Amino acid sequence: MPNLTHDRLAENTALAIRAYLGGSFDPVHKGHLQMAMYVYQHLLPIAKQQQRALHVSLLPNARSPFKNESTNPKHRLAMLKLATLNTPLQIDELELWQAPPVYTIDSVRTLQQRYPHDSLIFIMGMDSARSLDKWKDGLRLTDYVDLWVFNRGGFSDSDNNLFDINKHLADKKPAMQTLANLKTQLHAQLPIEMQNKTTDSPAELVALFTPTPTQTQADSGVLKNPHQGRIYIDPRPISAISSTQIRQQLQQLGNQPNIMPSAEAQITSIPSINDIIGNTESNPFAKWLNPAIYQYIIAHQLYSAAQFR
């Protein structure tokens, strides 16, 4: 399926700053938007100062090579459109309609070829960054893009109870450590091969440069400019919830015994939209999901146990 949005963007030859948050977005949740919006808000004054366009996009994948199943792309795209409504965030469908598996290294190479003179940033959590040596050519990502890495606060997909996570976050005391110590700890989590590429300033990720004829894009697509790919580790704590945790919780609720037909049971066994808006204490979905996304999940009976049998 053609991506008309980015066909039009490609016609604009003005230098731009482009940041991408990749993932399955299955489903998209507030943690995703928190990361993307923070990057947008931080880069916007820099882009204005440099008189450059700013594009921060969510980059949904076809299917992660680390996951056996994922929801139909049309549903994930529909939820992304709902989530980004009335925000400056965009959606890039580069990977979504390709036959899986689709690898990040191929996508960033394509983006660099498409926008050879723009600043390109790939956004990820430290949980992903620390495992880049296990990705296909993951250590070569910085040949094509810079990385903005967030501290996700220490949760993993195995922490699958949203109620427990909410309580943990509410009870958690501020860490008694200096910012310098935290940065050192996060830096040490990167693969050793990438630790010499870090920078303390996100502004360095979008430093302007003027390419010479010998610094233009080579046939191989390798980044050719004075500013080689850098990694900015953002110590700002962000919501550590994952889509896996949300799916597991929805499946548990949707799998409660009920004598009604399965479709009706799926809808009635999950808290109503009014409950999710008005009762954030007892229902964790109010914290993690946009109400429109929650309504879409119920209406289309997504993430029921039967879906994955």
pLDDT score at 149: 96
Q: Is the pLDDT of residue 131 over 50?
A: yes
Q: Which runs of consecutive H residues, i.e. helices, occur in the chain?
A: 4-10, 30-49, 73-83, 104-114, 126-129, 162-171, 179-189, 243-254, 262-269, 273-278, 285-288, 291-299
Calpha distance 269→257 (Å, rounded) = 9
Q: Which of 17-26, 156-165, 182-191 is the least confident region? A: 156-165
Q: Which of 2-16, 41-55, 72-86, 241-255 is the least confident region? A: 2-16
247-274 pLDDT, tens per residue?
888 877 655 554 334 444 444 445 544 5
Reduce the DSSP state of residue 166 to 3 states and report it: helix
pLDDT score at 180: 75
Calpha distance 186→197 (Å, rounded) = 13
Average pLDDT across the chain, whole number: 77
If pLDDT is split at 50, 70 and 90, which confidence band does 110 have? very high
Q: Which residue has the higher pLDDT, 164 or 28?
A: 28
pLDDT score at 66: 57
Angle at 165 between CA 160 and CA 169, to 5 degrees: 160
Neighbouring CB atoms inside 10 A of 127's CB total 19
Q: Is the pLDDT of residue 80 over 70?
A: yes
41-51 pLDDT, tens per residue?
999 999 999 99
Residues with Cβ < 8 Å from 72, sequence gap 6 or more? none
Q: Strand order in 90-91's β-sheet?
A: 90-91, 53-60, 16-23, 119-125, 146-151, 231-237, 198-199
Q: Is the pLDDT of residue 5 over 90?
A: no
DSSP H or E segment with residue 259: none
